[in-house]
Amino acid sequence: MQLVSRACTHCTTPLTDRLSSSSSLIQRCPTTSGACPARFCNRLCLKRSEKTHALLCPAQNPASVPLLAFVRKHSWMALHALAQCTARLLLAYQQQGRQRQRDSGGGAGEGMDEDWHVYCALADLGLEERAHGNWCVCVLRAFLHVFLDPLGIGLCIHACCVLWLSRLHGAEPDRTTWQAAHKAFVQAFVEPPDAAWQKKLAKVLKRPPPKEVADALFTYDGFLHGLGRMSLSAWSSIVVIIINNANAYKIRHDRSRGARGIVHVSFPSQS
């Protein structure tokens, strides 16, 4: 429905005929070319979409079209989630640079850092580890956290349940599919194959991300680990306790507000 402009691109609210007739409420993608079918149910959704839409818009970043087509072809929710997270991180870094220029570096640009900390806090289990069965080592390593922090048991239980359920639902995509997905992913956000696409991407991304972020997102190994993070997080329907160093992040997925639901993140209290 989103592809044919029948649902809000941000919150997936169906745009009924009655709602669509209210031109003052429905918002379109701000690009003037008309190449983007995105519509939003109100100005709030349009505003919130600024965190990701520019890099996934066919008008502003045509290189994202093959990636999103690949996602739909394979019905790969984890890859779509990773694309959304990547777009948010890259655009937050652009915003951080603009804020620092305006404020001369005075306490601005914390948004990207917070987003990056949340991404790194997600449970990490690469697709190769899952395919080889080496996930047992990761779970055993998580058990060691119990001696340091009792909340570590949450990660262990969560990882075991996710892996058990994933095996009941069939085999993982083969490595040929992983490599094709990585190629489309890199071309969408780093190296578009077309010169015209490269120019459009350069208008959106004026600052390259830090090396740490780029390596974690765009190397093949980092890409597989990113997919693993998204796959694990997709099963967090109740409460997931994630251990990352000494920080505990409590995530609750509330589905009472629609199909997508709302994800609530509680950060550790500062003593």
pLDDT digits (tens, 9 = 90+) for 120-129: 888 888 888 8
Which residues does 254 contact at the CB level (< 8 Å), separation at least 6? Answer: 261, 262, 263, 264
Phi/psi-derived region of residue 107, left when phi > 0, alpha when psi is between -120 and 50, beta in every other case: left
Strand 262-266's sheet: what is its strand order? Answer: 239-244, 247-254, 262-266
Residue 244 near residue 120 (C-beta atoms within 8 A)? yes
Q: Is 9 helix (H, G, I), strand (E, B) or coil?
A: coil
Claim: this prediction has a pTM higher than 0.75: no
What tens digit of pLDDT does each residue of 50-80 get?
999 999 999 999 999 999 999 999 999 999 9
Per-residue confidence (pLDDT) for residue 245, from 0 to 100: 40
- 29: nearest Cα among 63, 70, 61: 61
In the chain, beta strands by DSSP E: 27-28, 39-40, 239-244, 247-254, 262-266
Q: What is the Cα gyration radius of the chain?
A: 20
Residue 244 near residue 123 (C-beta atoms within 8 A)? no
